[in-house]
Amino acid sequence: MNTMPQPDQRDASLEDARLDIMLRQVWDTPRGLWGALATVDHKVIARRYIITAFVFLAFGGVLALLMRWQLARPEGQLLGPDVYNQAFTVHGTSMMFLFAVPVMEAMAVYLVPLMVGTRNIAFPRLNAFSYWMYLVGGILLWGAFIVDLGPDIGWFAYVPLAGPQYGIGKRVDIWAQMITFTEISALAVAVEIVVTVLKQRAPGMSLDRIPLFVWAMLVTSFIVILAMPAVMVASTSLILDRLVGTHFFNPAEGGDVLLWQHLFWFFGHPEVYIIFLPAVGMISAMLPAFVRRPVFGYIPMVLALVGTGILSFGLWVHHMFTTGLPRLGESFFTASSMAIAVPSGIQIFCWLATIWYGRPVYRVPFLFILAFFFTFIIGGMTGVMVASVPLDTQLHDSYFVVAHFHYVLVGGAVFPLLGAVYYWFPKFTGRMMSERIGRWVAGLLFVAFNFTFFPMHLLGLLGMPRRVYTYQTEMAWGGLNLFVSVSAVMLAAGFLLFFLDAIRSARHGEPAGDNPWGAATLEWATSSPPPSYNFARIPLVQSADPLWDAGDELPVTSGLRVDRRELLVTTVGGALPEARESSPRCSLWPLWSAIATTALLMGSIVTPWAVVWGSVPVAIALIGWFWPGGSKEDES
C-alpha cells in the first residue's frame, strides 16, 4: 500500500534510524511523574497490570497458607472463625477478581497489539482508566481486610447471609463495590481487545491468520462483555437491598434468594472460561515454538474456542443442583455441562496431535505445558463428575469441589500463565529468566500442587464440607489435612522461587534478542522490549506463521505519518487497509476520571446520596476527557 506522498510527513521515504528517532519523539511516554500518571502506552499499562496482579496472587497465597495452618490439625487455634471467614472470602475474591481475570487481560493488553501488528491498543485512554479502577478495587478489598472490615460471606456472597439482615456492618458493601471496580476495568479492557482485534490487525492478517491466542482473547472478551453485566446487576441489587431497602432478595417481601444465585452464576460460570480460554490461547501460542510446527487443526481450534464461549453460558445451574430445582431442568444442565467437555477435548486432541508429529524441546514453558496436561485433565474429569446431578449431591460444597476448581484454575490457567511468563518475559524485559531455576520452579510447583490438592478429593468424599474454620478431633480428617498443609508450604516455596527468579532476571538475566524461541508470531518481529511505537513499519502478513514463512525479510507496509500518533485501520474479515487513524496522546483525564469515580463508589458504601453528588465530578472529568482535541478528521 503505497499511497501518494502527502505534504505531511510519511514513513515511506525515511531511513530506519531516522524513522526510529521521529517515531520515538511522537510515541515515547514523557519521563517523570507526569508521564507515569498520564501514559497510554499499552505495554507500560500492561506491565503495571501484570505486576499488580501477581502482588495480589502473593497476598492471596499468604492467606491460603494461614488457612492451611489453621486446618493442619483439628481444633486449630491460629485464626478465629471471624478472621478465617474473612480469609477465605478475601482469598477467593482476590484470586478471581484481582488476579486471574486481570492478569489474563493484562497479558492480552501487552501481547494482542504486538501480535496483530499495531502500534497501540484501541482506546488507550480507556485502558489507562481501567488500570486505575482495578488498582483502587484491589486496595479497597485488601485495605478493608487489614482493618478487620474484610468481607466474610464467601466469594459468591449468597443472600440472605450477605443481605441487610445477616450481613451487618459494611463488609458486604465493600465486597459489592469492589466487584463494581473490577468489573468496570474488565469490561473496559474487553472492549479494547475486541476493537483492536477486529479493526487494527496488520494488513493481510485475515481471520484465518489470526494467532490462536488472539482468537482466544477475542472470544474471552465477548464472554466478558456478555457475562459481567449479570454480576453488576446482582451486586448493584444487593447494594440497593442493603443501602436503600429494596427487596430484590428478601422472600418475606416477594423477593427471591435464588435470584441471586441465578444472576451470580450466570456470570460466575462463564468467569471460569474467562480465565481458562486465555490460558489455552497461551498454550496454543507457546506449543509451536517448542515442537517446531504449527498447532494442528487451526479451524477446529478456533471453532472449539467459540463453541466453549457459547456453551459457557448454558451451564450456570450446575452450581445450584442441590437447591431443589425441577429434575428435568437439572438434567438439561447436566447434559450441557458435560457437552462442554467436547470442545475442551478437541483442543487437547489437537495439541496431542501437534506434539505427536513434532520434535519437543524441553524448555521451561514446555514443562509448564506438560504440567497443564497432567493436572488440567484431572480437573476436567472431576468437572464431569460434578456435572452429574446425583453425584453432585455428594460432592457439592465439599472439599472435593475445592480440589476440583483448584485443579481447573491452577492446572488449567496458572500453569500455562507461568509458562507464558517464562515465554514472554524476554519480550517484556529484553532478558531471559533462568532456565535452571525455572526447571526447579516447574518441578516443585507440579509436585507440590498435586500433593496439596489431590488429597482434598478424598477429604470431600470423607464428608468434609468446604469453608469450615475447624473440625473436631473425632473426624477422620486430621492426617490428610496435615499432609495437605505441609504440601502447601512446599507449593508456596515454589511460588517464592518463581518470584525471586523473575525479580532477579528483570535486571540480571541474559539478554534475549528479538526472538529467542524462534517463534512464528509478530510480537517476535520487533525488538525486546519493543519500542514505544511497537513496529517501525507495520508488517504485511502473508501466512498464519509470518516469521516462519517470510524468510529473513518480513515484508512491511508504509504510508503512515510520523509527525503524529497514527495507526492503520483494516477491515474485519480480510484485514485490508481501510484508513489511517490517529491514536490518543498521553493524558491525565483517565486518572481524574478514575479518582472521581472512586469517590462516587466509595461514598456509596456509606450513603446513597454519594451517587447523586458524586456524579458531578465524574461528569466534569468525562467532559474534560472527551473535549474535542485539535486533531483533524481521520483520513480514509
Residues 468 to 497 in contact with other proteins, rule: CB under 8 A? 468-472, 474-480, 483
Nearer to other proteins, 118 or 450 (CB): 450
Binding characters for other proteins, 396-425, by CB under 8 A (x = yes): xxx---------------------------
CB 431 within 8 A of CB 512: yes
For position 348 contacting other proteins by CB under 8 A, the verdict is yes
Phi, psi of 210 (to 5 degrees): -70, 130
Least Å from the CB of residue 205 to other proteins: 23
**Which string of DSSP letters, residue by residue, matches 271-329?**
HHHHHHHHHHHHHHHHHHHHHTSPPS-HHHHHHHHHHHHHHGGG-GGGG-TTS---HHH
381 binds other proteins (CB under 8 A): yes
Q: How far apart are CA 191 and CA 188, in angstroms?
A: 5
Interface with other proteins, residue 182, by CB under 8 A: no
Residue 625 CB: number of other CB atoms within 10 A? 17
CB of 74 to other proteins, least distance (A): 10
Residue appearing with cell numbers 524468510: 551
Work out whether 66 is an interface residue with other proteins (CB under 8 A).
no
The grid coordinates listed for 579 are: 484508513
CB 363, min distance to other proteins, A: 14
Measured from the CB atom, is 357 or 627 closer to other proteins? 357
d(CA 53, CA 45): 12
Label residues 179-217 b or e (16+ Cβ within 10 Å = b): bbbbbbbbbbbbbbbbbbbbbbbbbbbbeebbbbbbbbb
By CB under 8 A, tell whether 331 contacts other proteins: yes
Candidate list 26, 65, 160, 615; residue touching other proteins; CB under 8 A: 160
Quickly tell me which residue has 488500570 as its cell.
131
Q: Does 361 bind other proteins (CB under 8 A)?
A: no
Check residue 256 for interaction with other proteins (CB under 8 A).
yes
- The answer to whether residue 168 forms part of the interface with other proteins (CB under 8 A) is no
| Residue numbers 3-62 binding other proteins by CB under 8 A | none
DSSP 632: P
Q: Give, as ranges, the residues between 575 and 634 that touch other proteins (CB under 8 A).
A: none
The closest of 339, 457, 316, 334 to 389, measured between CA atoms, is 334
Nearer of residues 181 and 415 to other proteins, judged by Cβ: 415
CA 253 – CA 247 distance, rounded (Å): 6
| 537: its cell numbers | 513499519
Question: Shortest distance, CB of residue 290 to other proteins, whole angstroms?
Answer: 11
Is 149 a binder of other proteins (CB under 8 A)? no
Q: By CB under 8 A, is residue 339 in contact with other proteins? A: yes
Alpha carbon 93 to its chain's center: 14
**Which region, judged by CB under 8 A, interacts with other proteins, from 10-18, 294-302, 500-508, 555-563?**
294-302
CB of 323 to other proteins, least distance (A): 5
Contacts of 91 (CB under 8 A, 6+ apart): 60, 63, 64, 67
Q: Which of residues 435-464 bind other proteins (CB under 8 A)?
A: 455, 458, 461-463
Q: What residues between 74 and 103 interact with other proteins by CB under 8 A? A: 80-82, 85
What is the C-alpha separation between 75 and 504, in angstroms, rounded? 41
Q: Which of 26, 207, 232, 258 binds other proteins (CB under 8 A)?
A: 258
Choice from 388, 527, 543, 582 touching other proteins (CB under 8 A): 388
Tell me: does residue 335 bind other proteins (CB under 8 A).
Answer: yes
